[in-house]
Structure 1
Amino acid sequence: MRIGYFVSSIGISGGVKVVLQHVKILKELGHEAFLITKDIEGTWDVSETLVILKRNNLEDIPDCEIYIGTRWNDVERLFRRKVGKVVHLCQGYEPLKYWLRIKEEFIPEKREKKGILSITKRYFDMMKYRRKIDQVKSVYALPTVKAAVSRHLVELIEKEYKQRCFLIQNGIDTKVFYPDGRRTWGEDGEIRVLSVGSMHVGFKGIRDTLAAVKLLKGKGFNLKLIRVSPTPPSERELDEAIVDEFYERLNEKEMADLYRSADIFISSSLEMEGFGLPAMEALASGVPSILTEISSYKNFDEKRDFAYFVPTHRPDKIAEGILAFIENRALRERCVQQGLRVAQNYTLETTREHLSNFLQGIV
């Protein structure tokens, strides 16, 4: 079967990583699969899987039996072509992003300035976000084949749009992400705290992690904050001097080494987070983790004993979690062991099984 994943622009993100994993798995299953794009950046190894388009009207898109899009606007473009079967693979429910902006749960740094011009701009932004929600929902309502990377997204789409949605669960390479049993936790009295994601992506909630670390550093705790991002550091990260190490665009092996060198992993993402691949990679690497109480993380497992959970937008609770890990060895070890247990259910082998079942279900 000829299967094309269409992503109009490729940057460095977990979503693109998942698409490339899918393409590789489908090729191993005997299908002719590739990634179609108009623009690429980063250090992805895509030499054998990439098709680059030259025309904006998509006239040069290869003929496929199945086209898979992950972004709502890409799905709409594929559907309007009326060629092949179109799959809408949801990696995160976009209407939530705009709804969170309307509620002002996160505001881009460039919009944080005070003054009448900023207030006026926010008002028009709110109107724009409401229109965008309706636009995105209209694409989800199209008669495309639906699939999603996590259970809560499957349930949301089936409930909201009354269409069947297949689960194609994200997986990690356990040959890359595994614990270092020889490392001493908190060696030399320094606690290495790892945070992954772009500060410029509001739903990642990075500012809450920064605030928690700043709070504890101000009280004299010996913390070292390591940030990893696909984008350069923000003004806040540079100005407040909370970040001790900053890494940009690391590959998978470099990330795995960094997880194994960390004492605590923190993800303070908001509800828009569709899966949270770094969180699962951290669990598989044996890092005690602090996670927010959002649907994607709570659905990793029925039990909640694999991480220290905190509400969103609560830096004070994140700080309490850091202290709990510092003071309570039994808690750390429990989270490590249960995290490894949970990660065993999120392997690439499971993704392969889900992909195979998905194709059988739609053909």
Structure 2
Amino acid sequence: MKIGYFIRNLGVSGGVKVVLQHVRLLRASGHDAVLITENVRQAWELHEDPIIILDRGLADTPYCDVYVGTVYSDVKRLYEAKKGKLVHLCQGYEPLDYLARIKGESITERYQRKGFFSFFERQLDILKFRKRIRKIESVYRLPTIKAAVSKYLVELIGTKFGNGCAFIQNGIDLNVFHPDARRKWGENGKIRLLSVGSMHVACKKISDTLDAVRVLKEKKIPVEFVRVSGGPPSVLEKESGLVDTFYTGLSENEMAELYRTTDIFISSSLEGEGFGLPPIEAMASGVPSILTEIPAYRSFCENKNFAYFVPTHRPDRIVEGVLALSEDNALRQGYIERGFVVAKSHSLERTRLDLAHFFEEWI
């Protein structure tokens, strides 16, 4: 069976990483899996050169028995090209991100309006977001084969659009992401905090973590704040003076090394987060984590005692979490041990088994 994964732009993101993992695992299992793209911006380590196409109508796309798209616009283009069996791999239900923008829960710098006409510009943005939601939902209603990377998304997609949705669990390389037994808490006299993700992605709500760090630094708590993103820092990150170190485009091995020098991992994502690989990678690396109480993170394990959970939009609770983990060694060790167990259940081997089952039973 020849399987073609199409993603228009190859860059450094969790979604692209998952696609590359799928292609690699399928090849190792004997499938003829290929990666198809139009543009390689900046990518993770590519084990095989992708097939680069030029025709906007996908006329030069190589023949495959099955095509897989993950970005809704890519799925729409594949469907309109009438290439063959089509899988819509959901890594996050995009309308939730736009709903958060409409409600004003998370507005990225691009859509922060100021000045006399800001109210009217905001209303135009809301109309644009509502139109985008309708467009995305129309893609999910297409007669494609649905699959998702978390149990939460499987239930959401299956319930909302019917016809079922397969589960292909995300996994990490446990040979890369592992603890360093020699690591000592606060080695340099500071608590090293790590946040991963782009400020320009609304559902990441990095601003809540920034607000928590601001409070910690104002309280003279000795923290060092490290940010990692696929792109350059936002204006807020550059001007706030809160970020001590900013990394962009790190490789998987570089990320693993960074986790192993981290004291606390923080993610303040909103409900629009589809899965979230960084929390799993951090816990596999022996890092206690502060996570928001969102469906994606709760679906990691039935028991919520593997991380310090806080409500969304509550920087003050993130501050409490940092202080609690810093002051209570037993609490910290408990989260490290239980988080490691949860991370081990998200191995690439599990992903391989899910992929095998999917292409045998659903295609």
What TM-score, normalized to structure 1?
Answer: 0.98
CA contact (8 A) 2:169 2:354 kept: yes
Identity percentage over the alignment? Answer: 55
Secondary structure at the residue paired with 1:116?
A: coil
The equivalent residue for 1:72 is 72
Alignment of 1:297-308 (within 5 A): 297-308=297-308
Which residue number corresponds to residue 157 of structure 2?
157
Q: In structure 2, how many angstroms separate the alpha carbons of the residues matched to 1:24 and 1:212?
A: 39
- Once the two structures are TM-superposed, the CA of residue 188 in structure 1 deviates from its matched residue by 4.0
Q: Distance in 2 between matches of 1:258 and 1:188?
A: 15
Contact 1:92 1:153 in 2 (8 A): yes
1:3 is matched with which residue? 3
Matching of residues 309-324 of structure 1 within 5 Å: 309-324=309-324
Please give the per-residue CA displacement for 1:102-149, whole angstroms capped at 9, x wherever unaligned. Answer: 111111213324223222111011111111111111110111000000
SS in 1 for 2:117: helix
| Contact persistence 2:192–2:263 (CA under 8 A) | yes
Q: What CA deviation, in whole Å up to 9, does each residue of 1:241-298 have, x standing for no partner? A: 0011111110000000000000000000111110000011001001010000000001
SS at match of 1:100: helix
Given residue 177 of structure 1, which amino acid in structure 2 is its aligned partner? F
The equivalent of 1:145 in structure 2 is 145
Cα distance between partner residues in 2 of 1:248 and 1:228: 6
Say which is worse superposed, 313-322 or 36-45, in terms of deviation.
Answer: 36-45
| Whole-angstrom CA distance in 1 between matches of 2:101 and 2:70 | 21
Aligned to 1:39: 39
Q: Does 2:258 correspond to 1:295?
A: no
- Size of the alignment, in residue pairs? 363
1:77-101 deviations in Å (ceiling 9; x for gaps): 1111222100000000011111111
Amino acid at match of 2:217: K
On the 8 A contact 1:13/1:230 being kept in 2, the answer is: yes
1:88 maps to what in 2? 88
Query: Are the counterparts in 2 of residues 23 and 34 from structure 1 also a CA contact under 8 Å?
Result: yes
In the alignment, the residues of structure 1 paired with residue 165 and residue 185 of structure 2 have an alpha-carbon distance, to the nearest angstrom, of 42
Deviation at 1:45, TM superposition (A): 2.8
Rounded to whole Å, the distance in 2 between the matches of 1:67 and 1:110 is 33
Match of 1:185 in 2: 185
- Equivalent position SS for 1:189: coil
Q: Distance in 1 between matches of 2:49 and 2:352?
A: 17
1:212-243 Cα offsets, whole Å, 9 max, x none, are 01101101110000111111111111111001
1:219 aligned residue: 219
1:205 CA drift (Å): 1.0
Letter of the structure 2 residue corresponding to residue 276 of structure 1: G
- Structure 1 residue 18, shift from structure 2 partner: 0.5
Q: Partner residue of 1:51?
A: 51
Deviation, structure 1 residue 55: 1.4
d(CA) in 1 for partners of 2:83, 2:96: 30
Alignment correspondent of 2:257? 257
- Give 3-state SS (helix, strand or coil) of 1:221's partner: coil
Distance in 1 separating the partners of 2:360 and 2:50: 25
Q: CA deviation at 1:46?
A: 2.5
- Per the alignment, residue 130 of structure 1 pairs with 130
Is contact 2:9–2:38 with CA below 8 Å preserved after alignment? yes
Whether 1:327 aligns to 2:296 is no
Q: Is the 8 A contact 2:267 2:290 kept in 1?
A: yes
> Match of 2:330, SS?
helix
For the 8 Å contact 2:44–2:252, the answer to whether it is kept is no
Which deviates further from its counterpart, 128-137 or 222-231? Answer: 128-137
- Matches of 1:47 and 1:263 in 2, distance apart? 32
Partner of 1:20: 20
User: Which secondary structure state, in structure 2, belongs to the residue aligned with residue 349 of structure 1?
Assistant: helix
Query: Can you list the C-alpha shifts for 1:146-170, whole angstroms capped at 9, x where unaligned?
Result: 0000000000011101121000000
Contact 2:59 2:81 in 1 (8 A): no
Cα shift at 1:47:
5.5
1:317 alignment partner AA: R
Distance 1:181 1:209 in 2: 28
Superposed CA deviations along residues 2-58 of structure 1, whole A, max 9, x for unmatched, are: 000010111110110010000001111111111111011114332624100011121
Give yes or no for contact 1:283–1:289 (8 Å, CA) kept in 2. Answer: yes
| Structure 1 residue 362, shift from structure 2 partner | 2.2
Alpha-carbon separation, structure 1, partners of 2:88 and 2:116:
41
TM-align CA RMSD: 1.0
Partner of 2:109: 109
In the alignment, is the contact (CA less than 8 A) between 1:179 and 1:285 conserved in 2?
A: yes
Unaligned runs of 5+ in 2: none
Indicate conservation of the 8 Å contact 2:268/2:292, yes or no: yes
In structure 2, C-alpha distance between the alignment counterparts of 1:183 and 1:31, rounded to whole Å = 41
The residue aligned with 1:270 is 270
Partner amino acid, structure 1, of 2:46: V
How much has 1:73 moved relative to structure 2? 1.1
CA distance in 2, matches of 1:145, 1:110: 34
